[in-house]
Chains A and B, each alone.
Chain A
Amino acid sequence: MKDKVKGVLAAGVVLALITAVTLAVAGLPVAKSIAWMLTGSLASELAWARTLNQMTPLALCGAAILTAKRAGMFNIGAEGQFITGGIAGATVFHLLPRLPGPVLLILIITASVVGGAAFAWLPAWLFARRGVLVVISTILLNFVAINALNLATHTVLKDKSNPLPLTAHLPKDAMIPTFNDRTDLHAGTIVAITTTIATVVILRRSRWGLLSKAAGENPKVLRALRISPTKIQMQAMVASGALCGLAGGVEYTALAGQLGESFSQNWGFLGIPVALLGGANGEGILLSAFAFGALFAGTNHLSRFTQGGTSLVYVIQAVMLFVVLAWSARGSAAAANEAST
């Protein structure tokens, strides 16, 4: 326990250092910028709402990538599955617009989850049956999803009364409720946090979680138990896609209300560092999602006063990733040395 607290503190200090250095290198006044970022992310009710809203897709996509990664699958297609989730939800609304709000909401979220899962099943199947690397097929499918979104918002799902390529806006009662009128903090955040915790608990405590870890680290064990590792890996990919689809559905029904070409803000990609920094078993994934959510909210605020914007967070995430990679490589090299001597 003490070690974990130490680890979190160390990560926090390193993250703060990297943020400060990045701001300095970008030529921004460091102390002032950090103050602006804190104002924008943690200083008020509005700021907290902003942070938690950014955290929501990050946590879900992070959990999704972790689920696949533990089984040895690198799901770069989170972005595409997020978008497919949104499209599936909007399709339900397009087909059944007259349903009562709450029923519609439940159907939309279900469709999003199924849509994301189906879109992840395809690369999983390609891997299991045809040996196609998941990394390549999911990259390709991201492009397919982006173009499908463009097509849908321009043609089938387009709101005819609107000259812009957008789908019809959901009615208020079919959207995820907000807590009050002052901020747009919504109940979807609670769904995301609960789902993320549940995912981590399943991965760490359940039989399937153990099997998926074995599939990623030592498939021989599974073969010895007469369990097919590829089957477990396929299940992990589908679960991963379902989580991304849920993230897309929540984004659609809580904040966006309609789909446009810019529906996804790279959440699927940004979930990759969130997952990695959350630890191999996901114990810190919520903290990591929260930290990056706060950074996004903070830099959003920062961009009102300076030229620096959310692109700074990409740099911070990347440097943090390199630090963690170097750190863990050092750890495994030390372990290898110990084993050989």
Chain B
Amino acid sequence: MVGAGQCGRRERGQHVISIDLLIFSVPLALAALGEAMGQRSGVMNIGLEGQLLLAAFFAFLATSSSGNPVVGLAAGTLAALIYGAFLAYFSIGLGCDAALVGTAGNLLSMGATSTIFRMGAGGSGALVSVPLLPRWHGIDAVLAFLVFALGACVYLLNKSQWGLFVRAVGDAPESVHSAGISVSKIRFGATLVASLFAGLGGAYLVVGISGSFTDNMSSGRGFVALALVAFGRWKPVWVVLGCLLIGFFESLRFGFQSQGSSVPYPVLAALPYVAALAVLVFAGRGRSCPAALAQPFRP
């Protein structure tokens, strides 16, 4: 379910802080930003890893059959939305244990993408390339969207009525329920926003970075995104900054490898997770954690 990072078609240069760093952080940042919105409403999406993988797979299928990366981006996002709604039906609608629902989703996505891929394009062993999104001065639409989305999320969460409801169902669903507002509807909405972001992030792995699909290509990013939400204390800006930090560590790793450094690569690879754990150890659950996180609501 987890593995080493994937090598992209766009090889990284020696310069460490660059647009490349941003581009490599985009899938993780989008997934984590969406997950932060979802978790503020009390929903934890353990199936995020499978969602990224599914979006990447459908983006690959649609792009390779249409030749248009924008179609791929749309198809990947749509797949992630359907997947998100399906899992939400179980965890929010039926009130099942979200961790079990997410695990089932991950298994389904991993098994299905890997099976279909092996039967089709991947079986021949040939690397199928698809076109990447167009760029202007190294910036593409999804990267621009990330910047916009970050601003929008901060505004929506803190200033809008919808954001107030989202925060309220994350902290005190009973009160929202007593006020006559449907907890499930608000949570479902937040889940769809999270799924939209995860879909864009997953599709971006294919149409923004690698230009092809490999088995299990999300390679644990969904799990890292989950941890990063806690790392960023459930605040969108900090979550995205955390993602950039992870992207920075990853680029360090590539740099170290090419220079033959004495620091062993697994130590660097483990650093982000140890850092995230350390933050959790010191900050604990803290006040910023939504009080009703990962608890199914039964009125």
Q: Which residues of A contact B (CB under 8 A)?
A: 26-27, 74, 76, 79, 126, 129-133, 135-137, 139-144, 146-148, 150-151, 154-155, 266, 269, 272-273, 276, 307-309, 311-319, 321-322, 325-326, 328-330, 332-333, 336
- Nearest chain-A residue to B120 (Cβ)? A307
A151: chain B residues at CB < 8 Å are 264, 266-267, 270
Contact A144 B270 (CB under 8 A): yes
- Please, how many residues of chain B have a CB less than 8 angstroms from a CB on the other chain? 52
Give bound CA distance, A272 to B47, whole Å: 14
Cβ A76 vs Cβ B99 within 8 A:
yes
Decide if A325 touches B1 in the complex (CB within 8 Å): no
Q: Knowing A74-B99, A76-B99, say if A315 contacts B108 (CB, 8 Å).
A: yes
Closest to B293 in A: A133
Other A-B contacts than A147-B266, A313-B111, A328-B96, 13 sampled, CB-CB below 8 A, are A74-B99, A269-B106, A307-B123, A311-B111, A314-B108, A314-B112, A316-B111, A317-B107, A321-B104, A321-B107, A322-B90, A325-B94, A326-B90
Nearest residue, chain A, Cβ from B215? A311
Q: Are B114 and A311 in contact (CB under 8 A)?
A: yes
Partner of A273, one of B103, B273, B294: B103
Can you list 18 A-B contacts with CB-CB less than 8 angstroms, sorted by A residue number? A26-B116, A132-B280, A133-B294, A136-B280, A139-B226, A140-B276, A147-B267, A307-B123, A308-B118, A309-B118, A315-B111, A316-B111, A318-B106, A318-B111, A321-B100, A321-B104, A321-B107, A322-B104
Query: Complex: how many Å from CA A135 to CA B277?
Result: 12
How far, in whole Å, are A146 and B280 apart by their CA atoms in the complex?
20
- Shortest C-beta distance, A87 to chain B (Å), equals 12
B105 in contact (CB, < 8 A): yes
Which chain A residue lies CB-closest to B94?
A: A329
How close is A261's CB to chain B, nearest CB, in angstroms? 9
Whether the pair A314, B227 counts as a contact (CB closer than 8 A) is no
A312 touches B111 (CB 8 A): yes
A131 surroundings in chain B (CB, below 8 A): 284-286, 289
How far, in angstroms, from A315 to B119 measured CA to CA in the complex? 15
Chain A residues positioned under 8 Å from B72 (CB to CB): none
Known contacts A151-B264, A314-B111, A325 near B100 by CB under 8 Å: yes
Residues from chain A with Cβ under 8 Å of B99 in the complex: 74, 76, 135
- B32 in contact (CB, < 8 A): no
Q: Which residue of B lies closest to A311 (CB)?
A: B114
- Do the beta carbons of A318 and B107 come within 8 Å of each other? yes
Q: Report A-chain residues with C-beta under 8 Å of the C-beta of B118.
A: 307-309, 311
How many Å from the CB of A77 to the closest CB on chain B? Answer: 11
Instruction: Report whether A136 and B100 are in contact in the complex, using a CB–CB cutoff of 8 Å.
Output: no
Point out the residue from B108, B114, B269, B280 that lies within 8 Å of A126, measured CB to CB. Answer: B280
From A74, A140, A150, give the contact of B266 (CB < 8 A).
A150
Identify the closest chain B residue to A80 (Cβ): B2
Contact B270 A147 (CB under 8 A): yes
Which of A74, A142, A276, A317 lies in contact with B2, CB distance below 8 A?
Answer: A142
CB contacts (< 8 Å) of A322 on chain B: these are: 90, 104, 108
Report the Cα distance A252→B105, complex, angstroms: 30
Select which of A137, A311, A332 is within 8 A of B280 by beta carbon.
A137
Q: Is B274 an interface residue (CB 8 A)?
A: yes
Q: Which residues of B contact A266 (CB under 8 A)?
A: 1
